[in-house]
């Protein structure tokens, strides 16, 4: 079935865009943004083109465009405005154009196109370059947009799955000069955001360092036990949410438990949006404000 023959109810448009029914009706009646067909019983029928326009309008209004200024623009013009607004933001490195394209396609929920772009980039550069210059800044910028409300929770979940698939498909060319290091990588209990630590785990693998990936939502006791049994030299904790945002406890408490129960020769490395810098004199502690800083730290 072609896109032209697909129709959506107003409830489906609400579910797919995150816009309220009140907003959709207002954009239609006041600003003439849509001209839906009607069923014999008077219910609205939105085309696939109308869905795409609703997504574009949503993204542009979140980026401070006024609906009255853009409601009557065709899709092509709205797409151009979205791309221009994205290009006005801070530089994203050598893959900036690709990153902007992917973020725009996330906004429009073009998931097949996003997967295609990931595959193209992965084939175009070495794994360490893909990790440091493409995936890391892409995930950082995506996280910023999620935090600011530009991206929805459902978009975050689907995008995260695509990034994980890309990470698993990378082929690492391990550097064996750092095999004495042994990392255990985790996020605190109640913190279910794992893209950052997954990327860090991939960077560790590429550097030829042995590691165990415990993942998100890791109880502190389990982390300490895993570090002991694995003979860890380093514990990396990525904290992205505060206790108010869902973590079981504040990161200070989590960190000081690790400090008390881990062997003194184990270094604790901390990173993530919820980064803290506790005063510790009894062991080596490192702090990373970005994944690129972490990547540089693990290189020979």
Residue 54: give its domain's CATH number.
1.10.1660.10
Highest-scoring range by mean pLDDT, 7-16, 57-66, 262-271, 281-290: 262-271
CA atoms within 13 A on the CB side of 97: 1
Domain with 115, as residue range(s), is: 96-169
Phi and psi at residue 160, in whole multiples of 5°?
-60, -40
| 198 & 253 share domain | yes
CB-based contacts of 267: which residues, under 8 Å, 6+ apart?
A: 233, 234, 235, 283, 284, 285, 286
Pairing of β 7-8 and β 44-47 = antiparallel
Does the residue 182 lie in any domain?
A: yes
Our count of domains for the chain comes to 3
Asked if residue 241 and residue 182 are part of one domain, the reply reads: yes
In this prediction, what percent of the chain has a pLDDT beyond 70?
Answer: 90
Q: What is the pLDDT of residues 22-37, one digit of tens each?
A: 889 999 998 899 999 9
Assess contact for 135 and 95: CB atoms under 8 A.
Answer: no
Better pLDDT: 300 or 67: 67
Q: Are residues 223 and 274 located together in one domain of the fold?
A: yes
Q: Which of 169, 188, 216 is the last residue of a domain?
A: 169
Is the domain of 115 the same as that of 187?
Answer: no
- The confidence score (pLDDT) of residue 179 equals 59
Q: 104 and 183, same structural domain?
A: no
Q: So what's the pLDDT on residue 2?
A: 44
pLDDT at 1 over 50: no
Secondary structure of the chain in the HEC alphabet? CCHHHCEECHHHHHHHHCCCHHHHHHHHHCCCCCCCEECCCCCEEEEHHHHHHHHHHHHHHHCCCCHHHHCCCCHHHHHHHHHHHHHCCCCCCCCHHHHHHHHHHHHCCCHHHHHHHHHHHHHHCCHHHHHHHHHHHHHHHHHHHHHCCCCCHHHHHHHHHHHHHHHHHCCCCCCHHHCCCEEEEEEECCCCCCHHHHHHHHHHHHCCCEEEEEEEEECHHHHHHHHHHHCCCEEEEECCCCCCCCCCCCHHHHHHHHHHHCCCCCEEEEECCCCCCCCCCCCCEEEECCHHHHHHHCCC
Gap between the Cα atoms of 233 and 235, Å rounded? 7
Neighbouring residues of 54: CB distance < 8 A, sequence distance ≥ 6: 13, 17, 19, 24, 27, 33, 34, 46
Residue 49 lies in a domain: yes
Q: Final residue of a domain: which of 169, 203, 225? A: 169
Domain shared by 292 and 200, yes or no: yes
Interatomic CA distance for residues 23 and 41, integer angstroms: 22
Same domain, residue pair 157 and 64: no
22 and 116 within one domain? no
Residue whose token pair is 């070495």: 126
- 45-49, 228-232, 282-286: segment of lowest average pLDDT: 282-286
For residue 282, pLDDT beyond 80 = no
> Is 82 part of any domain?
no
pLDDT for 58 equals 85
Residues 158 and 225 placed together within one structural domain of the fold: no
Q: Do 288 and 205 fall into the same domain?
A: yes
Confidence of residue 91 (pLDDT cuts 50, 70, 90): low
**Is 88 part of any domain?**
no
Tell me, yes or no, whether 19 lies in a domain. yes
Evaluate if residue 263 carries a pLDDT over 80: yes
Domain membership of residue 274 (yes or no) is: yes
pLDDT digits (tens, 9 = 90+) for 224-248: 999 999 999 999 999 988 888 888 9
- Confidence grade of residue 251 (pLDDT, cut at 50, 70, 90): confident
Alpha-carbon gap, residue 216 to 294, rounded angstroms: 18
Encoded tokens for 49: 């083109």
CATH number (domain holding residue 159): 1.10.1240
Question: Would you place residue 296 in the very low, low, confident or very high pLDDT band (cuts 50, 70, 90)?
Answer: confident
Percent of the chain clearing pLDDT 90 (strictly above): 36
Q: Is the dihedral of CA 155, 156, 162, 165 positive or negative?
A: negative
Domain CATH code at residue 218: 3.40.50.280
The domain boundary residue, chosen from 151, 169, 187: 169
How confident is the model at residue 146, as a pLDDT?
76
Quickly state the pLDDT bin for 92 (edges 50, 70, 90).
low
Shared-domain flag, residues 39 and 68 = yes
> What's the pLDDT band for 14 if we cut at 50, 70, 90?
confident
pLDDT at 4 over 70: no
Here the tokens at position 57 are 């309008």
Confidence of residue 100 (pLDDT cuts 50, 70, 90): confident
Query: Is 86 contained in some domain?
Result: no
Look at residue 85 and tell me if it is in a domain.
no
What is the token pair recorded at 292? 């690129």
- Tell me the pTM: 0.67
Residues 101 and 211 placed together within one structural domain of the fold: no
Residue 88 has pLDDT above 70, yes or no: no
pLDDT averaged over every residue in the chain = 85
For the segment 106-117, the average pLDDT, to the nearest whole number, is: 90
pLDDT for residue 271 is more than 70: yes
């Amino acid at each position: 079935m072609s896109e032209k023959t697909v129709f959506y109810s107003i409830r489906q448009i609400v579910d797919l865009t995150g816009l309220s029914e009140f907003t959709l009706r207002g954009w239609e009646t006041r600003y003439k943004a849509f001209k839906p067909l009607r069923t014999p019983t008077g219910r609205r029928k939105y085309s696939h083109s109308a869905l795409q326009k609703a997504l574009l309008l949503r993204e542009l209004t979140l980026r401070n465009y006024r609906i009255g200024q853009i409601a009557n623009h065709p899709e092509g013009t709205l797409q151009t405005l979205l791309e221009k607004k994205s290009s006005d933001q801070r530089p994203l490195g050598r893959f900036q154009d690709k990153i902007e394209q992917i973020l725009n396609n996330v906004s429009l929920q073009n998931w097949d196109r996003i997967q295609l772009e990931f595959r193209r980039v992965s084939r175009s550069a070495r794994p360490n370059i893909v990790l440091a210059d493409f995936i890391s800044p892409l995930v950082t910028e995506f996280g910023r947009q999620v935090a600011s409300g530009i991206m929805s929770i459902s978009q975050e979940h689907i995008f995260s799955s695509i990034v994980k698939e890309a990470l698993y498909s990378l082929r690492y060319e391990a550097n064996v000069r750092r095999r004495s290091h042994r990392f255990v990588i985790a996020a605190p209990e109640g913190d279910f955001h794992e893209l950052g630590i997954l990327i860090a785990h991939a960077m560790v693998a590429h550097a030829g360092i042995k590691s165990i990936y415990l993942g998100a939502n890791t109880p502190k006791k389990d982390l300490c036990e895993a570090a002991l049994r694995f003979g860890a030299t380093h514990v990396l904790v990525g904290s992205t949410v505060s206790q108010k945002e869902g973590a079981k406890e504040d990161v200070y408490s989590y960190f000081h438990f690790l400090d008390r129960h881990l062997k003194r020769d184990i270094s604790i490395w901390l990173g993530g949006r919820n980064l803290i810098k506790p005063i510790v004199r009894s062991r080596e502690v490192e702090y990373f404000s970005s994944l690129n800083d972490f990547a540089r730290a693990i290189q020979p």
